[in-house]
Amino acid sequence: MSSSFFIKTKSKPKLTTKGANGAAPKRKGDGGADGKNKLRAKKPNAKYNEEISSDSETESPVVSKKRQVHAENDFDETPQDKKLRLAKLYLDQLKEEEENKADDESFETDLVAGRLQEEVLEQKGKLQRLIAKDLVAPDASDIRVLRGHKLPITCLVVTPDDKCIFSAAKDCSVIKWDVESGKKLHTIPGGRKGTEDRHIGHTAHILCMAISSDGKYLATGDMNKLIMIWEAETCKHLFKFTGHKGPVSGLSFRKGTHDLYSASQDRSVKVWNVDENAYVETLFGHQDAITGLDSLSRECCVTAGGRDGTVRVWKIAEESQLVFHGHDGSIDCIQLINEEHMITGADDGSVSLWSVNKKKPLSTVKKAHGCHGDVGLEQPHWVASVAALQNSDTVASGASGCSHNSQVNVWKCGQNYRGLELLFSVPVSGFVNSLKFSSSGQFLVAGIGQEHRLGRWWRIKDAKNGIYIIPLKRKPNPEEAKMTK
């Protein structure tokens, strides 16, 4: 560094002065005046070596001559002149370093400022990344199907790093899948009814699951009123929560924490602390079985109240709730898009967009997945699941048809979430019981079953239980299009 260089050169004039005055101390091997002469003879070489550096071992005679002249000129300098010259050189180097640093800091500042602005908008629920305009329908050959559950898949989650999928089913099992290869990484088998005392795992239909935002914990809830907590990496069973008086129908970890919210058909919402293996509190308000629950980073959660026809926003710290009305049928699924907007689906066939500041939907699409039945007696396909790509303008919904023909719809949200525009549909066979976007927005996962996750109103025999991995393809940008041509 230039500072060490400055220190070394500063010490040279002192040695020269001592030599000139004959005051240099004798060292072993110095022969009086001869020793002094030897010391003086070595000084020019030492000075020469210190000030000149080269990447090559040899140099041309011309360059060598120039350097000798430069060295002689250096010897003609007074110590004061030399100090001044080196100081100026040092200051010039510092100035150049500071200018380069300022350019880097300016870039970093702009980058940090952009991220901070996004975080502020995210907290306010106003961040809406415009992704939908670039999405195109995937080719049927690009959609992968994973099979492993014996009975209908009821719920699934994607790990925060998008590398794995956890799925659960009415066969009481949980399977961990590798997204890239499609292979099973781990299976937690289900047990038979009556084996609860000796079986590690579920012995009743699993209805819901959630994974913490750091990917550490997996939570699963079943018809037996139990919540199981697992280590997501190893699928090791840690402990279970008991307390609900009805089937556990919804689970969600608060983002950035290990606080767990659970919803049940006993019409209550409970709060748990997984780190402490502790129950925190219970909230009441719904007049019918709760069918779905979701949360983000705020200390609150949202729930769908089934046939009580309400959506509720629970403010945990204040122990208060906001009540929303909109659908004509049972509200069976709910998902937050950001901190202030959400999407719901109902068995009246409608999909609605909401703001937590408005008691009525901002937008509703009726018969979002079409109808079935004879002419004049048509009934809309139930909307069994919804999903949202967080902080974006892209959402999805899944229907349950009366035949093997069903579909996953991907929608574009209008500005300020006022309006829904269908982008494309993906045909599937069976009930779309669960939908989840990957964190990166690169793919959408659908859990398909022969039956609805909450009951057995009818069964689609032609359908096959499986997981559909649907890639979210983007339109090529103009530069890519030119290269393709």
Assess contact for 433 and 167: CB atoms under 8 A.
no
Percent of the chain with pLDDT over 70: 76
Dist CA 343 CA 385 (whole Å): 10
Q: What is the pLDDT of residues 271-312, one digit of tens each?
A: 999 999 999 999 999 999 999 999 999 999 999 999 999 999
Residue found under tokens 């914990």 = 217
Q: How confident is the model at residue 208 (pLDDT cuts 50, 70, 90)?
A: very high
**pTM of structure:** 0.74
Q: What are phi and psi of 3, to 5 degrees?
A: -65, -45
Report the run of H or E that residue 455 belongs to, with start and end.
none
Nearest in space to 278 (alpha carbons), one of 240, 231, 244, 246: 240
Assess contact for 213 and 160: CB atoms under 8 A.
yes
Higher-scoring residue by pLDDT: 371, 79 = 371
Dist CA 41 CA 24 (whole Å): 14
pLDDT value, residue 107: 60
Contacts of 466 (CB under 8 A, 6+ apart): 145, 146, 147, 149, 153, 448
DSSP string, 57-126: S---HHHHHHHHHHHHHHHHS-HHHHHHHHHHHHHHHHHHHHHHHHHHHHHHHHHHHHHHHHHHHHHHT-
Instruction: At 54, list the tokens.
Output: 């080269």
With a cut of 80, say whether residue 156 has pLDDT above it: yes
Q: According to the CATH classification, is domain 132-481 in 1.10.1740.10? A: no
38 φ/ψ sector (left φ>0, alpha ψ -120 to 50, else beta): alpha
pLDDT value, residue 115: 58
Q: CATH 2.130.10.10: which residues of the chain?
A: 132-481
pLDDT value, residue 262: 98
pLDDT value, residue 211: 98
Dist CA 85 CA 75 (whole Å): 13
Please tell me what DSSP assigns to residue 133. G
pLDDT value, residue 354: 96
Scored b (16 or more CB within 10 A) or e, 3-17 reads eeeeeebeebeeeee
Assess contact for 446 and 425: CB atoms under 8 A.
no
Q: What is the mean pLDDT of residues 457-483?
A: 79
Q: What is the mean pLDDT of residues 260-275?
A: 97
Report the run of H or E that residue 36 belongs to, with start and end.
helix 33-51
Q: What is the pLDDT of residues 125-147, one digit of tens each?
A: 566 789 999 999 999 999 999 99
Please report, for residues 158, 165, 417, 468, the alpha-carbon distance to residue 162 in angstroms, rounded to integers and kept in the order given.
6, 8, 26, 15
Q: How confident is the model at residue 99 (pLDDT cuts 50, 70, 90)?
A: confident
Q: What is the pLDDT of residues 374-429, one digit of tens each?
A: 677 788 989 999 999 999 999 999 987 655 568 999 999 998 898 999 999 999 98
Please report, for residues 194, 382, 455, the alpha-carbon distance to residue 198 in angstroms, rounded to integers and kept in the order given.
9, 39, 27
pLDDT value, residue 68: 52
Q: Report residue 19 CA to chain centroid gap.
A: 69
Assess contact for 206 and 215: CB atoms under 8 A.
no
Percent of the chain with pLDDT over 90: 60
Looking at every residue in the chain, the average pLDDT score rounds to 82
Dist CA 383 CA 433 (whole Å): 9
With a cut of 90, say whether residue 21 has pLDDT above it: no
